[in-house]
A and B are shown apart, each in its own frame.
Chain A
Amino acid sequence: MAAVDEIRHDTASLYRFINSVCASCDSREAGRTYPPASDDLLAYIRELGDCTRLFLETFPATVPLDSSYNFYRQKLLTLRSCWFELHQYIKPTADAHTLSLPGPLIEGLLRRFRQLPGFADSRFAVFHIEKLNYLQVVASGVRAIAGQMASIIPNAPSFPSNLGLLGIPYSQGSSVFLNCLIPHEMAHFAYGENGAIRAALLPRLASSLTRAFAGLPPLDPQNIALLMDWLESWTEEVFCDLFAIWLVGPCYSFAFIEIFDLTNILDSAGGLNSFGTSPYSEFFPSHPSSLFRIKQHLALLERLDWWPQFNRTKSHYYKVLELSNSLVDGHFAFSKGQNMGTKALEAFFDVVPAIHEQVNLLMSSLDTGLAEYKVSHHAVQEYLKNGVVPSTIPSIEHSTKVFPSPVTVLNAAYSLYLESLDTLISGIANQDPSSIRDRQKWAEKLESWASKAIEDHGLLISQKAG
């Protein structure tokens, strides 16, 4: 086959591939509705597909059949790789209809997120993920890739600047407690969008690493890159955890403990099971150790005054948080890169206060929700114990009504689940608090009442505003 025929064939092949990818943007279940931002994401991909195909229609005629042929030809491979990347998001987004998502919770969190400076018009497309780990989904990469694609395809649209992506495990649409981890993903969007945070932290990482390696033999460029990547990943993760706690309160930490089953570190007397603790103290290239993160959670919960609201003796989750405070820096380890790993940890510990500072700077204008929680959480828990959705609570003097916010509802419901599920179940005929099945059933009910209260809150405050 002549080169001219080959390039025409290969271009048509890519054209067909993009055609099929774009067609799947429309493969949605009839009768379902989808979050508007998800519609926007798919519309954007369709438009990018239109522009790519238009470009491909004329591409073969522009390719010279001389020594520069390969320089042109390889663009097809680059475009194909970009479409491989976009392809991964389409079906999970098209599958994530509103009935399969914790819609009211996402809306409630988004209302708070939009109160942050610079994020008033933010929105999130939502997609399903197969892995049950919200904390591993960093979708900012695909936004950057789409932006770069626009620079090599004529007239291609830019990725909408205010559009973030949220991945929800496909099985957790009706969960409320585990979905308290969603703010961590929102934080990755905030970290990526707000350039000032990264610009402030990177020089701190660099100077801290310089100090840690002072007097040691020079490092190879790839090791320098590796060290900066490790520290930046850990920095971003801790930033996202602290951001999440400020946005939603301690229920984030409870969900974190639950998903990683961190109560495994406790012995039967409620102390640290020191042998079992060591795996949770190990850092990974992309994530700090779970216990180090919990220790940072506790530091912020104490500073925001959330921590005194919880009686340590009432839940083993609280014990995990409390015990993390006894762990000193030397308790944590990072076994990658041998001596380099130890030095990396030393540099990172030095930077942690700066991460707390950046979270404070971004979040301090946002009410933590603690004041309302202090006033309303007992009433919310009483409603829940009696199987009543706590959408509206009369004030003490009964002259006004309080619509408990998502922060109050989530934290009151989660602490009720941790402290008093037995009491709730004992009040119901023919139900046994020692039965695992009954506990599962009433925990789900509790989540559904909390979810309804959060949904009602959105409606009630919009009515009040109207």
Chain B
Amino acid sequence: MFPDTGARTRYLSLALASRKLIDSLLSFVESNRQDPQLASGLSQFATALTLNRAGNNLFSTPNQASFSHYEQVLTLQDALKSLSGRDIAAELSGVLDDTSNIENRRKNAKSVIDFFYAVENRALNNYNQQIGMRDN
């Protein structure tokens, strides 16, 4: 019981954060309702993706950024790989850009749901491996 709680809960936490955004983005796309926490949630992922691209010993974050644990970084990279050819960071910026017209933002929102779906999916798969539900 309780094997490696840290890794397990990091996967589940990433899945839950992705789910929260999928729910909010679906609501935005389908009903034009904007969750007040949508922008901050998307910004967290945008920051995580920026750090994921960096290759210059960026240890100097003032406080550890969201989704920066090892298991979360691997999961995000895996999700990005599954959507290769897409510029997810640009799509996230497109949703966040409140100077853009609403239709463009909704288009970007619709597109970026794929990414959060992939992150949630992989994080849940990794979580279930940790608890022994996907042992081969």
* Chain A contacts to B: CB under 8 angstroms: 68, 70-72, 74-75, 77-78, 81-82, 84-85, 88, 92, 129-131, 136-139, 141-142, 144-145, 148-149, 151-152, 167, 198-199, 202-203, 205-207, 209-210, 213-214, 216, 218-222, 224-229, 232-233, 286
Q: B12 touching A75 by the CB < 8 A rule?
A: no
Q: How far is the CA of A222 from the CA of B2 in the complex (A)?
A: 25
Q: B70 touching A225 by the CB < 8 A rule?
A: yes
Q: How far is the CA of A70 from the CA of B22 in the complex (A)?
A: 11
Q: Which residues of A contact B69 (CB under 8 A)?
A: 225, 229
Q: How far is the CA of A233 from the CA of B124 in the complex (A)?
A: 23
Q: Distance (Å) between the CB of B112 and the closest chain A CB?
A: 11
Task: Name B51's closest neighbour in chain A (CB-CB).
Answer: A221
Q: A82 touching B22 by the CB < 8 A rule?
A: no
Q: A222 touching B73 by the CB < 8 A rule?
A: yes
Q: Which of B17, B22, B55, B61 sits near A220, CB closer than 8 Å?
A: B55
Main secondary structure, interface of B, reads: helix
Q: B113 touching A202 by the CB < 8 A rule?
A: no
Q: How far is the CA of A218 from the CA of B22 in the complex (A)?
A: 34
B89 on interface, CB distance cutoff 8 Å? no
Q: A131 touching B55 by the CB < 8 A rule?
A: no
Q: A144 touching B127 by the CB < 8 A rule?
A: no
Main secondary structure, interface of A, reads: helix
Q: Which residues of B contact A220 (CB under 8 A)?
A: 55
The 10 closest A-B pairs by CB, nearest first: A141-B9, A148-B16, A206-B59, A209-B59, A225-B73, A218-B55, A225-B70, A210-B59, A226-B70, A221-B52
B window 41-80: CB within 8 A of A: 51-64, 68-70, 72-74, 77
Query: Between A and B, how many residue pairs show CB distances below 8 Å?
Result: 140
Q: B63 touching A199 by the CB < 8 A rule?
A: yes
| 22 interchain pairs, CB-CB under 8 A | A68-B26, A71-B26, A74-B22, A75-B22, A84-B133, A85-B12, A92-B1, A139-B5, A141-B8, A141-B9, A142-B5, A144-B9, A152-B16, A152-B20, A203-B62, A209-B59, A218-B56, A218-B57, A221-B53, A224-B58, A227-B59, A286-B4
Known: A221-B55, A225-B73. 20 other contacts (CB 8 A): A75-B23, A81-B127, A81-B128, A138-B5, A139-B5, A141-B5, A141-B9, A152-B16, A152-B19, A210-B60, A213-B57, A218-B55, A220-B55, A221-B52, A222-B73, A224-B57, A225-B72, A226-B70, A227-B59, A229-B70
Q: A74 touching B131 by the CB < 8 A rule?
A: no
Q: Which of A75, A129, A205 sits near B19, CB closer than 8 Å?
A: A75
Task: Name B113's closest neighbour in chain A (CB-CB).
Answer: A71
B28 on interface, CB distance cutoff 8 Å? no
Q: How far is the CA of A304 from the CA of B55 in the complex (A)?
A: 44
B120 on interface, CB distance cutoff 8 Å? yes
Q: Which of A131, A142, A228 sits near B64, CB closer than 8 Å?
A: A228
Q: B74 touching A81 by the CB < 8 A rule?
A: no
Q: Which residues of B contact A226 (CB under 8 A)?
A: 70
* Chain B contacts to A: CB under 8 angstroms: 1-2, 4-6, 8-10, 12-13, 15-17, 19-20, 22-23, 26, 37, 51-64, 68-70, 72-74, 77, 113, 117, 120-121, 124, 127-128, 131, 133
Q: B16 touching A151 by the CB < 8 A rule?
A: yes
Q: How far is the CA of A144 from the CA of B15 in the complex (A)?
A: 13
Q: B64 touching A207 by the CB < 8 A rule?
A: no
Q: Distance (Å) between the CB of B77 and the closest chain A CB?
A: 7
Task: Name B49's closest neighbour in chain A (CB-CB).
Answer: A221
Q: Which residues of A contact B16 (CB under 8 A)?
A: 78, 82, 145, 148-149, 151-152
Task: Name B133's closest neighbour in chain A (CB-CB).
Answer: A84
Q: How far is the CA of A129 from the CA of B128 in the complex (A)?
A: 21
Q: B2 touching A131 by the CB < 8 A rule?
A: yes
Q: Which of A144, A148, A221 sits near B77, CB closer than 8 Å?
A: A221
Q: How far is the CA of A20 from the CA of B21 in the complex (A)?
A: 29
Q: B6 touching A78 by the CB < 8 A rule?
A: no
Q: A81 touching B58 by the CB < 8 A rule?
A: no
Task: Name B25's closest neighbour in chain A (CB-CB).
Answer: A71
Q: Which residues of B contact A205 (CB under 8 A)?
A: 59
Knowing A206-B59, A210-B60, A222-B74 are in contact, say whether A71-B117 is a contact too (CB < 8 A). Answer: yes
Q: B6 touching A141 by the CB < 8 A rule?
A: yes
Most chain-B CB neighbours within 10 Å: which of A75, A218, A225?
A225
Knowing A74-B120, A78-B19 are in contact, say whether A130-B60 is a contact too (CB < 8 A). Answer: no
Task: Name A222's closest neighbour in chain B (CB-CB).
Answer: B73
Knowing A78-B16, A149-B16 are in contact, say whether A207-B59 is a contact too (CB < 8 A). Answer: yes
Knowing A85-B8, A142-B9, A152-B19 are in contact, say whether A219-B64 is a contact too (CB < 8 A). Answer: no
Q: How far is the CA of A214 from the CA of B113 in the complex (A)?
A: 39
Q: Which residues of B contact A198 (CB under 8 A)?
A: 63
Q: How far is the CA of A206 from the CA of B127 in the complex (A)?
A: 28
Q: Distance (Å) between the CB of A239 and the closest chain B CB?
A: 15
Q: Which of A71, A144, A152, A206 sits near B60, CB closer than 8 Å?
A: A206
Q: Which residues of B contact A199 (CB under 8 A)?
A: 63
Q: Which residues of A contact B124 (CB under 8 A)?
A: 74, 77-78, 81
Task: Name A137's closest neighbour in chain B (CB-CB).
Answer: B2
Task: Name B128's closest neighbour in chain A (CB-CB).
Answer: A81
Q: B1 touching A131 by the CB < 8 A rule?
A: yes
Q: Distance (Å) between the CB of B60 and the closest chain A CB?
A: 5
